[in-house]
Amino acid sequence: MIEKLWTLHFPYAEQIKADEKKKLIDDAILGFKSAGASEVGIVDTYYVSELSEAGMTTFVIVLSAIADVVSVAMAIRTILKSREKNSEILLETPLMKVRINANMSDEAIVKIVKEVSKTLEK
Amino acid sequence: MKNKKDKDTLRAFIFGAIYASDSNKPIRIPMELTNLEYLDKIISGELRGISPALKIREWECSICHGDFELCPHQKGKVYDGIKCRRIVNDMEITDISIVDRSKMPRNRIFDLLIISKHNKKKSYIWHGFEVNVEMDRFTDIQNALNKKLIPEKAAHHFSKFFSVNQNGKITYP
């Protein structure tokens, strides 16, 4: 397994404050670690504002980790479960941006992550 | 045989504004249009909106002017009669899409410059559309001049035309 960069988008109606941001980053790291990922680290964080969606701000975490597809899928599932304020996460690669929501089955999430993983390069 | 540099070319540049936050200060965008198939639709008015994606690293609070993440103020709340706004401090535009109408109507194309080169001679067409404020047009012409997209005489010619016409199309020479 090789280390890959995972770009996770967390949509928010409003911009988050520092304590909420810290908790979100901690939840993301914990989610990956508890799913069996190793070498988990935060590479970058920023906000994305798509002005076509007025008022919507997305907080983005770029995370590096060594993990198989199932572990990443389970990490996303764990993060979503631990986040009351986030019912969905968008997984971004240079080629695509896919939406994963809390109601999806484990199989569906694994399938999405598998497709996303194919387009990722470290 | 024609030298590669001498071949006929057509380039187009759009000028407009992006309001990145609640601030009234827009970001001006002179941008080359990479897909010339959109030209007709921009001219006809079918596509005039600008929809950018921004990567933002820092927001400023309009009340205390500190880091919005760290200050206690909440966006939209009124403090001593002043409504709290967040202002983008550190950002980069990662992507710009041209759309029919932006959800933020002020984000739109004001001007279109078409530069055509035929037999080594350049000609310029300036399309001026509806602007937010009168100075937008002259700012765009000045930007085009500063970026050496148009010669000084063309800038003067265009400015003269738009000082009497609000919108319209003008060519040079």
Contact with chain A for residue B107, Cβ under 8 A: yes
The parts of chain A modelled with pLDDT lower than 50 are 52
Do strands A3-12 and A57-66 pair parallel, antiparallel, or not at all (unpaired)?
Answer: antiparallel
With CB atoms and an 8 Å threshold, state whether B102 touches A52: yes
Domain parsing of chain B, residue ranges: 9-167
Mean pLDDT is highest, among A102-116, B29-43, B120-134, B147-161, for B147-161
Residues 83-102 of B with CB under 8 A from A: 86, 88, 94, 97, 99, 102
What mean pLDDT is reported for chain B?
86
What is the three-class DSSP state of A101? Answer: strand
Among all residues of chain B, which has the CA nearest to that of A50? B53
A84 within 8 A of A22, measured Cβ to Cβ: no
With CB atoms and an 8 Å threshold, state whether A15 touches B75: yes
ipTM of predicted assembly, 2 dp:
0.76
More confident residue, B112 or B56: B112
Question: Closest Cα partner for B112 from B23, B1, B33?
Answer: B33
The distance of A65 to chain B (nearest Cα, Å) reads 23
Amino acid type, B132: N
The distance of B150 to chain A (nearest Cα, Å) reads 31
* Chain A partners within 8 Å of B53 (Cβ): 48-51
Out of A86-100, B19-33, B96-110, which region has the weakest mean confidence (pLDDT)? B19-33
Residues 45-84 of B with CB under 8 A from A: 51-57, 59, 67-70, 75
Nearest 5 degrees, angle CA A70-CA A76-CA A79? Answer: 140
Report how far residue B9's alpha carbon sits from residue B118's, in angstroms, rounded to the nearest whole number: 7
Unique residue bearing structure tokens 């079918």: B46
pLDDT at B1: 47
The distance of A105 to chain B (nearest Cα, Å) reads 31
Contact with chain A for residue B113, Cβ under 8 A: no
* Of the partner residues A47, A48, A51, the one whose CB lies closest to the CB of residue B104: A51
* Chain B partners within 8 Å of A16 (Cβ): 69
Query: pLDDT tens across B42-87, in order?
Result: 999 899 888 887 888 888 898 999 999 999 998 889 999 999 988 8
pTM above 0.80, yes or no: no
pLDDT at A50: 65
